[in-house]
Amino acid sequence: MNYNKKTVYDIDVAGKKVLLRCDFNVPQDKVTGAITSDKRIVAALPTIRYLLGQGAAVIACSHLGKPEPSFEKWVKKQTEKGKDPAELTEEKWQKSLKKLTLAPVAERLSELLGKPVVFAHDVVGPDAKAKAAALRGGEIMLLENTRFEKGETKNDAALAKAMADMADIYVNDAFGTAHRAHASTAGIADYLPAVCGFLIKKEISIMGKALSDPARPFVAILGGAKVSDKIGVIENLIDKCDTIIIGGGMAYTFSAAQGGQVGDSLLEADWEAYSLEMLEKAKVKGVKLLLPVDTVIADAFSPDANSKVVKSGEIPAGWQGLDIGPETVKLYCDAVADAGTVIWNGPMGVFEFPAFAVGTKAVAEALSKTSAITIIGGGDSAAAGEQLGYADKMTHISTGGGASLEFMEGKELPGVACLLDK
Active site residues: 40, 226, 379, 402
The span from the CA of 420 to the CA of 8, in Å, is 11
Beta strand pairing call for 373-376 and 243-246 = unpaired
Burial (CB count within 10 angstroms: exposed 0-12, middle 13-18, buried 19+), residue 259: exposed
| DSSP per residue, 130-143 | HHHHH--TT-EEE-
Task: Give the separation between CA 20 and CA 195, rounded to whole angstroms.
Answer: 10
Task: Give the C-alpha separation, 278 to 285, whole Å.
Answer: 10
> Which ranges constitute the DSSP H helices of 238-271?
251-257
C-beta of residue 37 within 8 angstroms of C-beta of residue 386? no
Q: Which residues are registered as beta bridge partners of 5?
A: 421
Cα–Cα distance for residue pair 47/207, rounded to 1 Å = 20
Q: Residues 172, 199: contact at Cβ < 8 Å?
A: no
Residues 69 and 96: beta-carbon distance below 8 Å: no
Q: Are 257 and 381 spatial neighbours (Cβ–Cβ below 8 Å)?
A: no
Q: Which amino acid is at 224?
A: G
